Every structure is written in structure tokens, then in C-alpha cells.
Structure 1
């Protein structure tokens, strides 16, 4: 039972790329980005928001039930994407587990409630139950009327891939047959953006410049940090056994944590990524990996260290490297699952999606295996190796 393969049988997301895999793929084929400069309260910054169509769907969801009117966008995004995922997978009996995480959780509501407290000296009745991190999985489980375990966690930016790790562990243990896993994030709020700016990692791109890309993720020659936040939720349905019509097979999993030397740093050659990738490759020749979808947040040190780690593991047989953060920003706890979605799309369509301002020397003619990386503050790395069905 433990050795049965684990398959991804459905994927769904709501993001700046749209609300369907077809829409996401069409937007990946376009060379332009989805980052916009605007004011978030008193903070002016680049950001990547949901499409207008997606925002309308979230508003419809919010107004569909009186209980949903007081929920944070991060919870509503998760409910929407989760409904779509289980519909794709054909799960109808509610007999599955839920593990959805978030780096920040209900940050929009938290900021609102805290502002009201500062002004009035009193907290709103719903301020506590609607801002806990457990809020997301709990509401999804309630909405889908599930009968299995429901788990929430935050492992910063590697949260969604840690959810996948946990789902696989439950399946392999025999304690569950199906698991819904993913991440949700709505970080385009004044205080969240201000926090990133305080770390000196946020994009200061001037639109009058000629390059045209506020986030230069995977540009190893950039002279300044260029991270941009984006909002999204992304979910995957996991099942074990030989599943027909599955989207991809999970062929390897790896994880590692570095000793913390600084609140946000990892080592110059990302030892955590070296360990997680090596674990994910156990029993598989690195030459058989065609593409790596990098975490690559758009920071100088973050991007350089991850590429250095990949070179350590793959040596002269370097796979093609890509990322999606230049296009849709960094959605913190949801970002790893969005990267996994890109990987599955490339496996399905057999086409490599590169970064327009990066010269790609190794573009594979056939794509059979893709590795997906994510890492959070303090070096919480996860690597997932996917195989074509």
C-alpha cells in the first residue's frame, strides 16, 4: 500500500492568470506580465491582483451565503479554487482530507480589525475567529462538507508544497485515500507590502525605464531586488493507485531546513535546496530531469543562491530553468502550488515556458520530468519531482 504511486488528478487556481488551466496556459504563452503599480492604502507599490472576472466570481461567492460576508479574501479564494478542484476530480462523497496553508492568512481582515481597535479601543466580535490561520482549511472543509481530516499550517513561502508533502504522507500511511492540498494568499495590503519594503527586497522599478519588467526573477545580473507580491489560491487533488486521466505522477519529494543565520537569508549556495533536490532525486539520474521551476523570488541573493544549488546538484547536465514570478508576482504561501501548476501544464502541452529576458540555452524538445522548488524564510525548502503520465 505504501508503495502505490501518488497522482495529481486535478488542479485549480484563481490568480492573475485567470480561473482555469486553459486560461492560465494561454496567459503563460503571452510574453507580457500581470504586474501593476497602484496605491494600497497609503503605500504605493507594484502588485499582481486577480483578474476582473476572477474578482467578480469572488464577490458572487461572498454574497452567496451570509456566513461568507465576513471572511477574508484568502479564505474566499481557497473556497473557490477548492470547489473547482474537487469538481474536476469528480470527488462527490466528501471522504477526503484537506490541508491548505497560508503564509500570512487573513492579513486584510487583521489590518482592518486592528485599525478599528486603535480607533475605538474595542475589538470586533468576529475579529478572532475570522483571522486565525486555521480559518482557511476549516472553512473549505465546511463548504465542501468533508469527512476527513482538515489541517492548516504556515511554513512561509514553501507552505503549499509542504501541504503536498503532508497529503502524500497521509496517503502513504493508509490513513486516507484522497487529499486536497494547496495554499492561499491575499497579501496586497498596506502593512504587508510595507513589511516587504522594510526588508529592502521589494521592487523599486521605475516604469520610465526601458526594460519593462518590475520583477526580474531569474535575472542573475540584476543590480537591485525586485520582488513583487501577488494574490492567488491554488489547489491540487492527490490520489494513490493507478489513476486514469491523472495530470501528473509524483516521482520524488524532498525537504530540508537550514540553520538560521539571518531572518530571511539562506546560504550562498542554498544548502537547503541542495538537500531537498537530492532527496527528491533519490534513485533517479539527474540527467532525466528536463526542467526546474525555481522559487526565484526576484531578490538578488535568493535567485543566485538557488541557481548555485542547482548547479551543485546537476553539474554539467543542467536542466532548463524557469520561474513564473516575473509574470504574476510572489504569492507567498500559494506560490509553490502555482509553480507546480506551471510544471503540470508544461508536461501536458510538451512546451517549455521560459522567461523573456533570460537566454535559455537548454530548451528541452521533450519534457518528461520537472522539478519544482519552494523555500520560506529561514531556509524551509521543498522540492517536488513530477513525471509525465
Structure 2
């Protein structure tokens, strides 16, 4: 059913997801999940900040300017007591659709400019819909635990120059200095959620 729904919206790609490329053509559906056990343990990876907004721009298309998405990022930073320079890595929502990548590039650039390494992991996992944010949070968890490096942003390398230039992560970025990660999740109806995780 979800595949037919996304196909009806004309956002289902026939190729691998290609976020932030000038050649992007939509999402690839994935199937996965992640489960977390939250506890009051001061020694574990922490949820440092949460930001939520809703732009109510359109039922299926985000606000291209990314105003409320940027506000969710700023709320998460304020909740964590951090500045943009304190974020070491951003896991982008990065769906590979024309409208979502435009919105997210604008939102991220408004807050961070081109300073923070960022990547979408959807070219690896596909878009797992309701489980997408939990899977992407797990990537951040593994980085903070030192179990993986910063994920390379996998795409065809042809950045869409009509988008603000955000810092897409290249190969072999070290994770040993990563202390704080951000995870973006931007859904239908302008539902925006951002997590800040840290050691």
C-alpha cells in the first residue's frame, strides 16, 4: 500500500535514492526498524535536546523555505543548551525528493551554513517511513559509541546548485572527535522533529 501511495504522489524513484543531487528522482522504500531502551543512566548516550514544530504548509509538500524546520533545529539546540558550532554531525532526513531536499537544505543552511558534516543514510537503508527516524537515530548512537565513522553521503556527486551549499560528508571522516550528533525527521503535513544526542 505505501508503495502505491508514494507512486501516486510521483515521488517514488526507479533508481537508488540520490539525495541533494541535481538528478534526484524521489524515494526508495525500505523495510527496517530500531528499538531503544531509555534509562536514567548518566553514563550512556544522552538525548540532550528535542525540537518539534509544524508548518501546516501542505498535506504532502513541505514549505520550500524550511522556516519551521529551521525553527525545530533551533529549538533542539536551545533545549540542549548548545550553539550550532557544537554539533559535530547531522543525519539528514534526505529523502531524495525535489521538494524535501530543497526544504531541508534551506533549513540546515539557515542554522549551520556550510560548517557541519551531514549525510543522508537513506541511500543505504531506503526510506523506512515510520521507522526512518529511529534507524537514523541508531546511526547517530553508533557514531557516538565509536562503533562507526561519520557515514559518507552517498549520491552521484552532482550537487544541485539551486540548493544552498550544505556540507555533505565525504569518505573516511573520523568519529573519535564526535561528541554531539543531530538527527532530522521531517514528515508529511509539515511535521518537523529534531533530536540532539551526545556523550
TM-score (norm 2): 0.84
Alignment of 1:131-210 (within 5 A): 191-205=1-15
In our comparison, the structure showing a higher alpha carbon Rg is: 1
Identify which of 118, 129, 139 aligns with 1:332. 129
Q: Give the aligned partner of residue 88 of structure 2.
A: 290
3-state SS of paired residue (1:322)? strand
3-state SS of paired residue (2:152)? coil
Task: Find the aligned partners of 1:338 and 1:241 in 2 and give their Cα distance.
Answer: 22
Identify which of 200, 206, 225 aligns with 2:25. 225
Q: Give the aligned partner of residue 360 of structure 1.
A: 169
Q: Does 1:300 align with 2:98?
A: yes
Q: Give the aligned partner of residue 159 of structure 1.
A: none
Q: Which runs of 5+ in 2 are unaligned?
A: 158-167
Which has the larger helix fraction? Answer: 1
CA contact (8 A) 2:152 2:170 kept: no
CA contact (8 A) 1:220 1:300 kept: no
3-state SS of paired residue (1:265)? coil
Task: Find the aligned partners of 2:72 and 2:125 in 1 and give their Cα distance.
Answer: 25
Greater RCO, 1 or 2 (C-alpha within 8 Å, sep 6+): 2
3-state SS of paired residue (1:310)? helix
Give the Å deviation of 1:294: 0.8
Q: Give the aligned partner of residue 107 of structure 2.
A: 309
Q: Does 1:257 align with 2:28?
A: no
CA contact (8 A) 2:92 2:185 kept: yes
Identify which of 70, 77, 83 aligns with 1:274. 70
Q: Give the aligned partner of residue 387 of structure 1.
A: 198
Alignment of 1:47-126 (within 5 A): none
Task: Find the aligned partners of 1:251 and 1:237 in 2 and give their Cα distance.
Answer: 16
Task: Find the aligned partners of 1:364 and 1:309 in 2 and give their Cα distance.
Answer: 25
Identify which of 177, 180, 187 aligns with 1:376. 187
Task: Find the aligned partners of 1:382 and 1:354 in 2 and give their Cα distance.
Answer: 23
CA contact (8 A) 1:220 1:303 kept: no
Task: Find the aligned partners of 2:170 and 2:95 in 1 and give their Cα distance.
Answer: 21
Give the Å deviation of 1:276: 0.8
Task: Find the aligned partners of 1:252 and 1:307 in 2 and give their Cα distance.
Answer: 21
Deviations 1:95-147 (A, max 9, x none): xxxxxxxxxxxxxxxxxxxxxxxxxxxxxxxxxxxxxxxxxxxxxxxxxxxxx
Give the Å deviation of 1:240: 2.1
Task: Find the aligned partners of 2:60 and 2:9 in 1 and give their Cα distance.
Answer: 9
Which has the larger strand fraction? Answer: 1
Task: Find the aligned partners of 2:48 and 2:111 in 1 and give their Cα distance.
Answer: 17
Distance 1:344 1:241, change over 3 A: closer
3-state SS of paired residue (2:33)? strand
Question: How many residues are paired up?
Answer: 183
TM-score (norm 1): 0.45
